[in-house]
Amino acid sequence: EAQVTQNPRYLITVTGKKLTVTCSQNMNHEYMSWYRQDPGLGLRQIYYSMNVEVTDKGDVPEGYKVSRKEKRNFPLILESPSPNQTSLYFCASSPGLQETQYFGPGTRLLVL
């Protein structure tokens, strides 16, 4: 089944404790993105990647890192999480620049 998977789905952590949210797609898509969803703000792009080893900042990159060492994986790293990073995070992928993006199931993160 063609899909985007994320792990973990739920995570509670404390301020400053490094964490990684994994994202994987099995559709051989070139483009991958991370978004965060906050009430009243919709979804906002954090980072995106156009291909292996090619990444760039989105609208809200502060406090996040990403890497794209393999085409199928695009992990999101929070090196020192803070409470303002409490949010719902989505990974998405698309086959090309003008193509529709398909979203993973979301990861709900709570930083205490």
Partner 1 sequence: AQTVTQSQPEMSVQEAETVTLSCTYDTSENNYYLFWYKQPPSRQMILVIRQEAYKQQNATENRFSVNFQKAAKSFSLKISDSQLGDTAMYFCAFMTPYVEGNKLVFGAGTILRVKS
Position 102 contacts partner 1 (CB under 8 A): yes
* Token pair listed for 71: 């085409």
Query: Per-residue x/- marks for partner 1, 8-27, CB under 8 A?
Result: --------------------
Q: How far apart are CA 46 and CA 33, in angstroms?
A: 7
> Among residue numbers 61 through 90, which ones bind partner 1 (CB under 8 A)?
88, 90
Q: How far apart are CA 60 and CA 45, in angstroms?
A: 6
Four-CA torsion 75, 98, 3, 89, nearest 10 degrees? 40
Query: Which of 13, 72, 101, 110 is the binder for partner 1 (CB under 8 A)?
Result: 101
**Residues contributing to the site for partner 1 (CB under 8 A):** 31, 33, 35, 40-45, 48, 50, 56, 58-59, 88, 90, 92, 94, 97-103, 105-106, 108
